[in-house]
Structure 1
Amino acid sequence: MTQRQRILVCGATGFIGRNIVERLSHEPNTEVIAVEHETPRFDCPNVAWVRADLTCQEDVQTVLQGIDIVVQAAATTSGAADIVQRPYIHTSDNAVMNSHIFRTAYDLNVKHVVFFSCTVMYPSSDRPLSEDDFTGEIAPQYFGVGWTKVYLEKMAEFFAGLGRTKFTALRHSNIYGPHDKYDLERSHMFGATVTKVMTASDGKIVVWGEGTEARDLLYIDDLVHCVEQSIRRQSEPFGLYNIGYGQAFAVKDVVERIIAASGRDIEITFDRAKPTIKTSLFLNCARADSEIDWRPQTDFQDGIRKTLDWYRRHFQT
């Protein structure tokens, strides 16, 4: 980022968006404009805040005026319970929001849009999956959110092909780290486990599922670095990249690692009746390595330690 650029971060008060804002705010050649909606803004130097409802076309038109780069981290997200019980909450708003942003970015000559997709379109597998391993078959519990993401990827590719705005779609794995959701109603597996371990008063925790489900887990700083690399290095009009740690960790292993890093003596019970996603998945990220010079930098155990240190500072002081 050699010349000063105006970067709009949508979803700036969320987990991914906040980490991006905090990182970019230290870039001397970057003017950061952060979008807030329902969650209040946070104090961060060198950041200008705007309030907008990104499902409203007029608001999108207003906040994208004069912007060079859009990092689109706004989304309706939640954990396994909602994916199983209320899957529709991840479809309509996300489709409308991104449709407005992509079209408006093109209309206003925005240089580059970085968009966060996901990996739920991939089948369960015991081998690392590349971007070409999407077969067109999506697991029933992911049908709505999965096809919404695929549609948005194709829309991004369409607008990129018109030649005015560059687009990047990041199929990232499960992200963890500072500013994640740690309340048990909305958190993902990692955040929920951290909260259970750090707040257990009787030396016991209950983990949803059987513990054999496997996840590819990536520390948030590595995802933020990928955004920076996409902006710096992507040469093609459209880039679709797997972004993950490249290794599958069984939930039981993850829980045991978090307990060990916490220094607490905790007994685990697995509740097979609770909602869980019975898949195993990890990513081949060779394309990101070769095209944008990105690879994960944070060792999983070190990421756990950093997350617990942050949790203690923010919730136990």
Structure 2
Amino acid sequence: MKTKVLICGATGFIGRNLTEQLSRRADLEIHAVRFQRPQYHCPNVIWHHADLRKPEDIERVIKGVDVIIQAAATTSGSKDIVTRPYIHVTDNAVMNSLLFRAAFEHQVKHVVFFSCTVMYQSSETALKESDFDANKPLHPRYFGVGNTKLYIEKMCEFYAGISDMKFTAIRHSNIYGAHDKFDLERSHVFGATITKVMTAKDKITVWGTGEEERDLLYADDLVSFVELAMTKQPEKYRLYNCGLGQAIPIRQLVQKIVAHSGKALTIEHDLSQPTIKTSLFLDCSLAKQELGWEPRVDLDEGIKRTLAWWQENVGKKEVEAA
């Protein structure tokens, strides 16, 4: 009998990668939830339209589900984090509170939740899950979204503690790859840089000195992480780091993307923009020890794959529309 998996947020970046890849497995029955975006063609997927802020919609899609992969969220880029931080707080707290309660009431076997790393302090060494210090204040820019993620992680732990359900909370680093947001208003640094490079004529401008260091993980490696957690997680509740485990300065990331694009571009730095020298990368030894997970796609290979996907799916459309 197939395991019935409900993927919430199936039209988003992470959700779409999960839906397309898990739908190829013969042992899974994939149910995909969408809200505002239209559904796309994907064989072996059963689609549902639902607003996860409404209890009645959750009740309609959750019946008979074995596993919930919760990739639905109100998300956007750094601009909204600064100018409209409230949009990352209220809706996400509401939808996860309702979804977890319904999962408990319907005795769902396993819930996977995507957290993030904004609660971690900048560090020159790889951070373990236990390195988060609740006594230290979060960066003011991430106060709302960071504390919301921490609240939802605690809800995972709470429901696992009062039931036989398994909950997995994943603090993943910056994810990139196919289906990312590549528009400059909403995308994160990787997607925005891909778009800037591929649409530039002769130069690309980097804000500040580009000293900020980030941990970047290819989307396929996150999908494999979820698959392993679904079968190998030893305890009812686990909080896992999930990243490449290496930090790269933004200026080097830009250099790599330009090099792999094959374009002859000049890289300029706009030093009128602020530079905040931060470093964040993850120690994922717990996931390796318990799940046998390690990233398989290095950054150079991931950049090549993403550029090829962009050319095929974004670049061609822009040429056709011109």
CA distance in 1, matches of 2:250, 2:204: 14
AA of the residue aligned to 2:187: S
CA distance in 1, matches of 2:208, 2:82: 13
Q: Which sits farther off after the overlay, 71-80 or 115-124?
A: 71-80
Q: CA deviation at 1:173?
A: 0.1
Q: CA deviation at 1:207?
A: 2.4
CA RMSD, Structure 1 to Structure 2 (Å): 1.2
Which position in structure 1 is the counterpart of 2:144? 144
Which position in structure 1 is the counterpart of 2:157? 157
Which position in structure 2 is the counterpart of 1:129? 127
* Aligned pairs for 1:1-317 within 5 A: 3-136=1-134, 137=136, 138-201=138-201, 203-274=202-273, 278-317=277-316
The answer to whether the Cα contact below 8 Å between 1:80 and 1:277 also exists between their aligned partners in 2 is no
Secondary structure of the 1:55 match is coil
The answer to whether the Cα contact below 8 Å between 1:69 and 1:112 also exists between their aligned partners in 2 is yes
Q: CA deviation at 1:272?
A: 4.6
CA distance in 2, matches of 1:158, 1:270: 47
Q: CA deviation at 1:79?
A: 1.5
Normalization by structure 1: what TM-score? 0.96
The answer to whether the Cα contact below 8 Å between 2:117 and 2:171 also exists between their aligned partners in 1 is yes
Q: CA deviation at 1:105?
A: 0.4
The answer to whether the Cα contact below 8 Å between 2:93 and 2:148 also exists between their aligned partners in 1 is yes
CA distance in 1, matches of 2:92, 2:204: 34
CA distance in 2, matches of 1:277, 1:111: 43
Number of paired residues? 314
Compared with structure 1, are the counterparts of its residues 275 and 102 closer, same or farther at alpha carbon in structure 2 (3 Å cutoff)? farther
Secondary structure of the 1:106 match is helix
Identity %: 56
Which position in structure 1 is the counterpart of 2:319? none
The answer to whether the Cα contact below 8 Å between 1:80 and 1:275 also exists between their aligned partners in 2 is no
Secondary structure of the 1:7 match is strand
Secondary structure of the 1:190 match is helix
The answer to whether the Cα contact below 8 Å between 2:104 and 2:163 also exists between their aligned partners in 1 is no
The answer to whether the Cα contact below 8 Å between 1:81 and 1:275 also exists between their aligned partners in 2 is no
AA of the residue aligned to 1:198: M
Q: CA deviation at 1:43?
A: 0.3
AA of the residue aligned to 1:37: F
AA of the residue aligned to 2:263: R
Structure 1 gaps of 5+ residues are none
Structure 2 gaps of 5+ residues are 317-322
CA distance in 2, matches of 1:156, 1:277: 33
The answer to whether the Cα contact below 8 Å between 2:211 and 2:275 also exists between their aligned partners in 1 is no
Compared with structure 1, are the counterparts of its residues 85 and 271 closer, same or farther at alpha carbon in structure 2 (3 Å cutoff)? farther
Compared with structure 1, are the counterparts of its residues 122 and 90 closer, same or farther at alpha carbon in structure 2 (3 Å cutoff)? same
Q: CA deviation at 1:274?
A: 5.0
AA of the residue aligned to 2:165: T
